[in-house]
């Protein structure tokens, strides 16, 4: 074996580097964690009573231009019959509202649909 080959093996296979010295490892920058800005704050879901209580929070209707009574009314209409509400329920309701007269909420008026979309986006933590 030639001396040059031995130097390459000791240096990690890179010609011109010093034997026995490890090359500097570059670590990627740490990933930023996304904060869950939805009503669930990182949890999987919540009980119906807790959900209704959070809907009465003034912070809920600050960005929606809807009153507290209107938000409560829509919350009851959207999630009627559910005892436990998950984030996926909100996402499903959002997509169902987009289906218009063929979706689950086909009996909603146009105003109810628009207001429900605003509310759901606020609950999911999305910007306008």
List, run by run, the mean pLDDT of 10-residue segments along the chain (128 residues).
72 56 69 76 89 84 82 89 92 89 86 92 81
Half-sphere exposure of 89 (CA within 13 A, CB side): 19
Q: How many CB atoms lie within 10 A of CB 16?
A: 7
Taking a C-beta distance cutoff of 8 angstroms, is the pair 17, 23 a contact?
Answer: yes
**What backbone phi and psi angles, to 5 degrees, belong to 25?**
-90, 135
Note the residue count of the chain: 128
* pTM confidence score: 0.67
d(C-alpha 112, C-alpha 29), whole Å: 45
């Amino acid at each position: 074996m030639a001396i040059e080959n031995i130097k390459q093996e000791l240096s990690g296979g890179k010609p011109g580097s010093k034997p026995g010295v490890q090359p500097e490892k570059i670590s990627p920058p740490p990933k930023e964690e996304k904060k869950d800005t939805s009503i669930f704050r990182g949890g999987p879901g919540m009980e119906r009573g807790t959900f209704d209580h959070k809907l009465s929070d003034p912070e809920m209707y600050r960005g929606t231009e809807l009153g507290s009574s209107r938000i409560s009314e829509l919350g009851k209409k959207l999630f009627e019959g559910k005892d436990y509400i998950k984030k996926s329920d909100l996402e499903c309701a959002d997509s169902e509202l987009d289906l218009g007269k063929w979706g689950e909420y086909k009996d909603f008026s146009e105003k109810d649909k628009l207001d429900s979309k605003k509310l759901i986006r606020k609950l999911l933590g999305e910007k306008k």
